[in-house]
Amino acid sequence: MIFGLEFPPIENLVEWPNLFGPTDSWYGFNKIALINLVALVGTSVLFLVAGRQKTLEPATNAPKGSRNLVESAVAFIRDGIITETIGPEGLRYLPFLASLFFFILITNIFEVIPFFHMPGNARMAGPAVLALLTWVYFIAVGIKHQGLKYFWNSVAPPGVPKALLPLVVPIELLSTFIVRPFSLAVRLFANMLAGHILLVTFTVLCITLWGASLLLAVLPFSFLMLVGLTGFEIMVAFLQAYIFTILASVYIGSSMHAEH
């Protein structure tokens, strides 16, 4: 009860009942799982359909339809992310980074899609798995390129005096192998949860004010705020996918060569 208005409990924010299956069972399937499944199947189908489309635009010889969309998106990841951070030798990691980008983008964009209105990454489990995957991936790339010396190279940057090593090694160990995956996961999770809370706050305010008599005057402002924030959240959904991918790319690039 605030100003005589009644609001639903806070637990309704991110907890969803199972669509089928009892609670706490391993096969329970709720909205988050549905969003993740849609993101997975949707991305795969989009890429398969785009790959099968062979006809070109007759006048300009450019790809058309879904292939045009997918090609420009992949070119964005290639030119905007990989060549800027790793360089041309990073192109072999394009498939991993592209699938990361598309999966995060589609799960995020469900924040503003009607009847879903829930970003799939606003529960910690999704971002945590993605960050763990990136963690395993950049360590594997490091071992592949530098052998077991990778671990020593990444915790002791060259040029550091020997006397400083006891100080530098724990800090670098912490920042490379613990803070990196933690901050990746928390960044994505907290951004999406914050956006979701913002949107829910203004939606609930709009619904609640509809029944209020005197406070009805506040309703237009609340509604305009909601419309503006929806646009803002579309931008955030894209930006978070971009930032996650670019950071994964930077981490992979830094484990390909020893710092010098």
Q: Could you list the residues that contact another protein (CB under 8 A)?
A: 10, 80, 84-85, 183, 186-187, 189-191, 193-194, 239, 242-243, 246-247, 250
Cα separation, 204 vs 2, in Å, equals: 13
In the complex with another protein, which residue's Cβ is closer, 152 or 182?
Answer: 182
In the complex with another protein, which residue's Cβ is closer, 74 or 185?
Answer: 185
DSSP alpha helix (H) spans, 25-124: 31-52, 65-76, 83-85, 94-109
Q: Three-class SS of residue 2?
A: strand
Least spacing, CB of residue 172 vs another protein, in Å:
16
CA 124 to chain centre: 12
Least spacing, CB of residue 246 vs another protein, in Å:
7
- Burial status of residue 162 (CB atoms within 10 A of its CB: 0-12, 13-18, 19 or more): exposed
In the complex with another protein, which residue's Cβ is closer, 45 or 239?
Answer: 239
Cα separation, 218 vs 215, in Å, equals: 6
In the complex with another protein, which residue's Cβ is closer, 18 or 84?
Answer: 84
Least spacing, CB of residue 131 vs another protein, in Å:
12
Strand partners, 29: 20
Least spacing, CB of residue 253 vs another protein, in Å:
12
